[in-house]
Amino acid sequence: MTSLLLEALEALRNALAGVPGFVTVASTPYFFRPFLLLVTLGMTAGLVGTIVNLRRVEFNAEAMVHSVFPGIVGGALWGGLEGILPGAALVSILVVAALTWTMRSGGASESATAVVLTSFFAVGIVLSLRVGDSSGQLEALMFGRMLEVTDARLLQALAACSVGMVLAALTWRAQVFVAFDPDGARACGIRVTLVDLALNTAIAAVVVSAASAVGVLLVIGYMVVPGAAARLLSSSPRTMALLAILAGVAGGWLGLWLATLPSARLVSPQASVALMVLASFPVALAAQQILQFIRRRGRSHARPTTPRAEEALSA
């Protein structure tokens, strides 16, 4: 099964090698693997990030990003680079349980969430400093190694993204209901704790899938910015999700493309991708202002003029 999937991905790379816009990313496997990961990550993070924005649990996402760090360090220590995702996945189970418990009152307790964040992240820092260079270099673990994504790590990341996408899609209606009326959702029989569990698991899936490529510190941009940018231009949650997915995919694509351009100095592909994802917010903000200006101009021209107003204007 794994070999068939890898053969299919290689066939896709060869098919895209001559298509304009894909020539660079499909030229070599070490570019194409990060490209596939970023596209899948953008789609998953766009959908999950929309729910994060609607439910206002950005701090939960931040806590998840930092709390899986001991799993990344432990995975790299005992399993090498291939053990990063499994290690992060194991620790994320504990983090999901802890964050879901903090949300039982109907809203996340910031103090309890902060305790979860600092406790897990502190363990990761202590572990990384305790083992020294054998942990795989602290900076690389925190900021990722995008161009070193192997076939095994790609498949692990795609599997994690699939889990996040499925959970977000299956609980979409319940997530939106809880976001706008949590008390009404409980009154209608929705088990909010299970909805919270699904959301935290989806967040963990995004963080775990990006851990070895984008890094645990930069992935928060994927979790927060596309959803926030899409909200500026959306009139419904579905439109917001579509625009967030577009922002996540476009940011990853453009960031990887910019990192391949000739430059006097080396450009970090992780930083380039993070900056392009972040750029979606000012672009959306500018588009929102332009649209509002056009609407105001349209309303002012369509407004009927009274005889007294005409006299005032002529005077």
Angle at 269 between CA 59 and CA 140, to 5 degrees: 65
Amino acid 172: pLDDT? 96
Query: DSSP letter at 213?
Result: T
Number of Cβ within 10 Å of residue 296's Cβ equals: 10
Digit-coded pLDDT (tens) for 67-125: 888 888 888 777 776 777 888 889 999 999 988 888 875 444 778 888 888 888 888 88
pLDDT above 50: residue 135: no
Q: How confident is the model at residue 308 (pLDDT cuts 50, 70, 90)?
A: low
The structural domains of the chain, ordered by start, are 2-302 (1.10.3470.10)
Amino acid 238: pLDDT? 94
Q: Among 163-167, 179-183, 262-266, name the one with the lowest average pLDDT.
A: 262-266
Q: Among 40-49, 63-72, 192-201, 282-291, name the one with the lowest average pLDDT.
A: 63-72
The residue type of 234 is: S
Under a CB-based contact definition with an 8 Å cutoff, are residues 161 and 41 in contact?
yes
Distance, in Å, from the CA atom of 154 to the CA atom of 32, rounded to the nearest integer, reads: 10
Higher pLDDT, 59 or 138: 59
pTM, rounded to two decimals: 0.85
Alpha carbons within 13 A on the beta-carbon side of 232: 18
Amino acid 141: pLDDT? 64
Distance, in Å, from the CA atom of 156 to the CA atom of 146, rounded to the nearest integer, reads: 14
Digit-coded pLDDT (tens) for 3-53: 888 888 888 888 888 788 777 778 888 788 888 999 999 999 999 999 999
Amino acid 133: pLDDT? 52
Amino acid 132: pLDDT? 60
